[in-house]
């Protein structure tokens, strides 16, 4: 096993990780500020991907497609927040799970109704297609490298937004004491709509970016949703920093586990059996990681003590 | 609220009577598919009754109950698969052969899912709230991916069983007889559940859900109460899984899917959380909606979503709550 392969796989893991972060950041923000479990977050990812694919097919511009993904996902997020989600803040987690599960059904079947069951395709823009040569003569797809860049840039932007701006101060204050900031004259319901739309936009962006390397289809959001939940639970729900660390951990574990665990078990088992055992363990690896973290720290790595 | 209680009794009575009357009518009218639908209702109701013990009585929102349903299903699939291929399940440390006998399969399904619930419960109950929901979901995903990669038992494609397993003295291939078996089990479990709710254990569990501190003050361990509830709950859902596999004569990893965990929560909520007959009503309404809306439009899940949303937002006691009034306090 060469070092080039290892570096490639680490990059793949990072790319997967930062895309998970885009999903997880919104989920964790929405939970941290509003105390809401949003199972429909994966639907917003799907909405972003479909908006991007439709606009790219109509205009041929990848940038316009990304803009559409952001705008449509944010708009859909805002509408859903005002129409449904708002009524769930005061209810218990069970009702939230159920209502947002209902939203998944509505979104998935609604999208199937509009676009049909066949997958759509979103092409990588010409400027970003093809491989690039990294130091050490490693060939790596430019688009995936760009995804890592975009993911890190969004993480930085989000950090600046939360730590350095007035809106960020309000969001943090909303996490700590919603009654108090409402009493200080901040329109709390507008703030909630804004946070929800921001989370939705990030999910939509992730959907569009990943849509270009996978197919765009109904149900694409749910696997990513589950992984994003794993990420925020590992990181500690409500913590953006935790989401970032968790996303990178999950991205690397999943990617590297898929490659190296079968190889590892082949060292001391028959090749066929070793591949089998390694592959099963690899597909369960992140869930084992998550349960281990929770058993060790029941509120995640960066979670507030319950 | 004595009036409310008796109203709930009549609602429950009507539900059971309906669940018997429909397949009997179908038998006379020679509509075997309707009998299969009623069997499906009885089995899904059983799975949801199991979940309701954790969810309604224990206040444990498990998004991983598909684990137990799947274990029950695979207990049936594995035993029957070995019986139909005349191979041993294992020869070491002792010879274990497959079987086509329902009672043996049920026993294995119940014991295996109870053990799984014990392990998952011990680990998951260290957490609470959202973390509990998520860790149970994670266990569900572990089993799902394990089943997919377990190629000895069909992997992603699952296992087909050619002939339905047998029950002494019955011909289970006749739809109404298999319905009878499932219905009898459902009734027995409902009766046990009713006894459980009124037993000292049930009362303590109820208290542990509402005010854990007070339960601790009188010397009971709320964690242990919840763990026992979780194990009983998992065992019942596991039994339902074995029956479901026998109904379809097929098991596949989808029995472990998180969507199924969500679906049984829906059954419980649709009917009414913590109500004895809530899951039965929920399962009946779900199967009827699936069949009726599914016949009207290919996109029936949209309407299921809308109905569900309306129930969560506006009818918080579920259907039994609407019909029978707020007889039991649950929070």
Q: Report DSSP letters for B67-88, one per residue.
A: HHHHHHHHHHHHHHHHHHHT-E
Where does B211-316 have alpha helices with state H? 212-217, 222-248, 258-271, 278-296, 300-314
The CA distance from B131 to the nearest CA of chain A, in Å, is 7
Is B331 part of a structural domain of the chain? no
Residues of A in contact with B132 (CB under 8 A): none
Confidence category of residue B330, pLDDT binned at 50, 70, 90: very low
- C-alpha to C-alpha distance for B70 and B62, rounded to whole angstroms: 15
Inter-chain contact A84–B313, Cβ cutoff 8 Å?
yes
**Within a domain: B310:** yes
Task: Give me the domain span that covers residue B162.
Answer: 2-324
The yes-or-no verdict on residue B60 having pLDDT over 90 is: yes
The confidence score (pLDDT) of residue A244 equals 95
* Separation of alpha carbons B255 and B253, rounded Å: 5
With a pLDDT cut of 70, the percent of chain A lying above it is 99
What pLDDT score was predicted for residue B331? 42
Answer yes or no: do B145 and A108 touch at CB < 8 A.
no
Rg over CA atoms, chain B: 20
pLDDT at A91: 86
Q: Identify whether B54 is part of a domain.
A: yes
Residue A299, pLDDT above cutoff 90: no
Q: Which pLDDT band, with edges at 50, 70 and 90, does A306 fall under?
A: very low
Does B142 contact A at CB distance below 8 Å?
Answer: yes
Q: Which residues of A touch B269 (CB under 8 A)?
A: 94, 98
Would the CB atoms of A97 and B133 count as touching at under 8 Å? Answer: yes
Binary contact (A280, B302; C-beta < 8 A)? no
Rounded to a whole number, what is the distance in Å from the CA of B242 to chain A's nearest CA? Answer: 24
Burial environment of residue A50 by CB neighbours within 10 A (0 to 12, 13 to 18, 19 or more): buried
Dihedral of alpha carbons B245, B247, B248, B250, sign: positive
Residue B272 lies in a domain: yes
Distance CA B136, CA B51 (A): 13
Q: Look at A102 and B273 and tell me if their CB atoms are within 8 Å.
A: no
Name the band, by pLDDT with cuts 50, 70 and 90, for residue A66: very high
Does B213 reach chain A within 8 Å, measured CB to CB? no
| CATH number, domain containing residue B22 | 1.10.3470
Distance CA A263, CA A73 (A): 41
The closest CB to that of B305, out of A102, A112, A279, belongs to A102
Q: What residues of chain B lie within 8 A of the CB of A276, using their CB?
A: 149, 151
pLDDT at B261 over 60: yes
What ipTM describes this predicted complex? 0.86
The residue of chain B with its CA nearest to that of A116 is B299
Domain limits, chain A: 8-218
Query: Looking at residue B94, what DSSP letter applies?
Result: S
Please tell me the pTM assigned to this model: 0.90
Segment holding A132, helix H or strand E: strand A131-134
Residues of B within 8 A of A92 (CB-CB) are 331
Res B1 pLDDT > 50: no
Give the CB-side neighbour count of residue B302, counting CA atoms within 13 A.
12
DSSP secondary structure string for all residues of A286-300: HHHHHHHHHHHSTT-
pLDDT (average), residues B186-198: 95
The Cα–Cα gap between B20 and B39 comes to 10
CB-based contact B131 A299, cutoff 8 Å: yes
Of the listed ranges B3-7, B127-131, B157-161, the least confidently predicted one is B3-7
Give how far B122 is from chain A: nearest CA, Å.
10
Q: Check B134 against A230: CB less than 8 A apart.
A: yes
**pLDDT recorded at residue B127:** 87
Tell me, what's the pLDDT at A181? 83
Interface of B with A in 244-263 (CB under 8 A): 258-259, 262
Query: What proportion of chain B, given as a percentage, has pLDDT over 90?
Result: 65
Pair of tokens at residue B237: 């859902």
Q: Chain A residue with minimal CA distance to B55?
A: A94
> Mutation test of the interface with chain B: which of A42, A109, A258, A282, choosing the one with the most B Cβ atoms within 10 A?
A109
CB pairs under 8 A between A and B: 128
Residue with tokens 């990617």: A255
Give dist(CA B79, CA B240) in Å, integer.
16
Residues of A in contact with B127 (CB under 8 A): 294, 298-299
* A68-72, A256-260, B105-109, range with the lowest pLDDT: A256-260
For chain B, what is the mean pLDDT? 90
What pLDDT is attached to residue B326? 60
Count: domains in chain B: 1
Q: If pLDDT is split at 50, 70 and 90, which confidence band does A177 have?
A: confident
Residue keyed to tokens 């009734």: B187
Q: Distance, in angstroms, between A208 CA and closest chain B CA?
A: 24
Residue B318 has a pLDDT of 77
Q: What is the pLDDT of residues B275-322, one digit of tens each?
A: 889 999 999 999 998 898 888 888 888 998 998 898 888 877 778 877
User: Does pLDDT of B327 surpass 60?
Assistant: no
| Residue A247: band (very low, low, confident or very high) from pLDDT cuts 50, 70, 90 | very high
pLDDT of residue A180 exceeding 90: no
Say what the pLDDT of residue B67 is.
97
Q: What is the largest CA-CA distance in chain A?
A: 68
pLDDT per residue as tens digits for the range B5-52:
578 888 888 999 999 999 999 999 999 999 999 999 999 999 999 999
Instruction: Give me the sign of the Cα torsion angle B111, B145, A13, A49.
Output: negative
CB A233 to CB B135 under 8 A?
Answer: yes
Nearest one of B242, B203, B267 to B107, comparing CA atoms: B242
Mean model confidence pLDDT for chain A? 91
Kindly give the residue spans of alpha helices, DSSP state H, lying in chain A.
3-34, 41-59, 62-83, 93-115, 142-164, 166-176, 178-183, 188-211, 221-235, 240-266, 271-296
Provide the β-strand partners of residue A138.
A134
Residue A1 pLDDT > 70, yes or no? no
DSSP state of A139: E
Closest CA to B281 of B49, B59, B64: B49
pLDDT of residue B7: 80
pLDDT in tens, A2-19: 788 889 999 999 999 999
Give dist(CA A18, CA A145) in Å, integer.
11
Indicate the range of A96-100, A288-292, B169-173, B321-325 predicted with least confidence.
Answer: B321-325
Structural tokens at position A181: 């900031």
Check A97 against B151: CB less than 8 A apart. no
Which pLDDT score is estimated for B5? 57
In this complex, is the C-beta atom of B48 within 8 Å of any C-beta atom belonging to chain A? no
Average pLDDT over residues A42-69: 95
Q: Name the pLDDT band for B274 (thresholds 50, 70, 90).
A: confident
Instruction: Say how far residue B19 (Cα) sits from the centre of its chain.
Output: 17
For A32, the closest chain B residue by CA position comes to B130
Is residue B330 domain-resident? no
Cα distance between residue B185 and residue B195, in whole Å:
15
For B319, the enclosing helix (H) or strand (E) is helix B318-324
Residue B151 pLDDT class (50, 70, 90 cuts): confident
| Burial annotation B222-259 (CB, 10 A radius, 16+ → b, else e) | beebbbbbbbbbbbbbbbbbbbbbbbbbbbbbbbbbbe
């Amino acid at each position: 096993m060469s070092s080039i392969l290892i570096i490639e796989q680490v990059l793949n893991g990072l790319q997967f990780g930062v895309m998970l972060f885009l999903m997880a950041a919104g989920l964790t923000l929405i939970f941290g500020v509003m105390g809401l479990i949003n199972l429909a977050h994966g639907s917003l990812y799907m909405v972003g991907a479909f908006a991007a694919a439709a606009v790219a097919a109509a205009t041929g511009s990848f940038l316009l497609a990304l803009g559409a993904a952001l705008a449509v996902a944010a708009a859909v997020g805002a509408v859903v927040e005002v129409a449904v989600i708002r009524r769930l803040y005061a209810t218990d987690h069970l009702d939230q799970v159920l209502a947002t599960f209902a939203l998944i059904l509505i979104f998935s079947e609604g999208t199937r109704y509009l676009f049909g069951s066949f997958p759509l395709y979103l092409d990588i823009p010409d400027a970003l297609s093809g491989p690039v040569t990294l130091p050490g003569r490693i060939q790596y797809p430019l688009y995936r490298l760009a995804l890592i860049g975009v993911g890190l840039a969004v993480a930085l932007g989000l950090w600046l937004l939360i730590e350095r701006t007035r809106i960020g101060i309000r969001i943090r204050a909303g996490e700590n004491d919603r009654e108090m900031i409402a009493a200080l004259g901040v329109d709390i319901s507008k703030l909630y709509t804004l946070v929800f739309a921001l989370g939705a936009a990030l999910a939509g962006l992730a959907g569009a970016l990943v849509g270009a390397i996978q197919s765009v289809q109904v149900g694409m959001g749910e696997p990513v949703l589950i992984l994003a939940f794993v990420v925020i639970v590992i990181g500690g729900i409500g913590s953006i920093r935790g989401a970032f660390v968790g996303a990178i951990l999950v991205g690397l574990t999943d990617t590297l586990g898929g490659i190296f665990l079968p190889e590892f078990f082949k060292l001391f088992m028959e090749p066929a059996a070793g591949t089998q055992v390694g592959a099963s363990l690899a597909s369960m690896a992140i869930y084992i990681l998550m349960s281990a973290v929770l058993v060790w720290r029941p509120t995640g790595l960066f979670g507030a003590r319950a | 609220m004595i009036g409310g209680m008796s109203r709930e009794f009549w609602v429950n009575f009507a539900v059971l009577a309906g669940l018997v009357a429909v397949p009997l009518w179908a038998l006379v009218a020679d509509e075997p598919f309707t009998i299969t639908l009623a069997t499906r209702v009885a089995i899904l109701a059983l799975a949801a009754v199991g979940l309701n013990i954790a969810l309604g009585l224990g206040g444990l929102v498990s998004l991983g109950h598909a684990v137990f349903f799947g274990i029950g299903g695979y207990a049936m699939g594995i035993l029957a698969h070995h019986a139909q291929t005349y191979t041993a399940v294992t020869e070491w440390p002792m010879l274990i052969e497959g079987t086509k006998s329902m009672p043996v399969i049920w026993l294995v399904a119940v014991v295996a899912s109870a053990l799984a619930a014990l392990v998952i419960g011990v680990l998951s109950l260290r957490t609470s709230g959202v973390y509990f929901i998520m860790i149970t979901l994670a266990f569900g995903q572990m089993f799902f991916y394990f089943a997919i990669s377990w190629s000895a038992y069909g992997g992603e494609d699952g296992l087909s069983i050619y002939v339905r397993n047998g029950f002494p003295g019955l011909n289970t291939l006749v739809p109404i007889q298999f319905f009878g078996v499932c219905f009898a089990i459902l009734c027995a479990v409902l009766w046990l559940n009713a006894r459980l709710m009124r037993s000292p254990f049930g009362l303590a569990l109820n208290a542990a859900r509402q005010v854990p501190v007070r339960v601790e003050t009188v010397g009971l361990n709320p964690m242990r109460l919840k763990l026992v509830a979780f194990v009983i709950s998992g065992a019942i859902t596991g039994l339902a899984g074995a029956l479901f596999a026998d109904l379809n004569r097929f098991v596949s990893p989808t029995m472990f899917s998180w969507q199924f965990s969500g679906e049984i929560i829906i059954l419980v909520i649709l009917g009414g959380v913590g109500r004895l007959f809530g899951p039965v009503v929920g399962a009946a309404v779900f199967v009827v909606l699936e069949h009726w809306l599914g016949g009207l439009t290919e996109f029936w899940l949209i309407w299921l979503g809308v109905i569900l949303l309306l129930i969560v937002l506006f009818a918080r006691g579920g259907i039994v709550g609407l019909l029978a009034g707020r007889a039991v306090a649950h929070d």
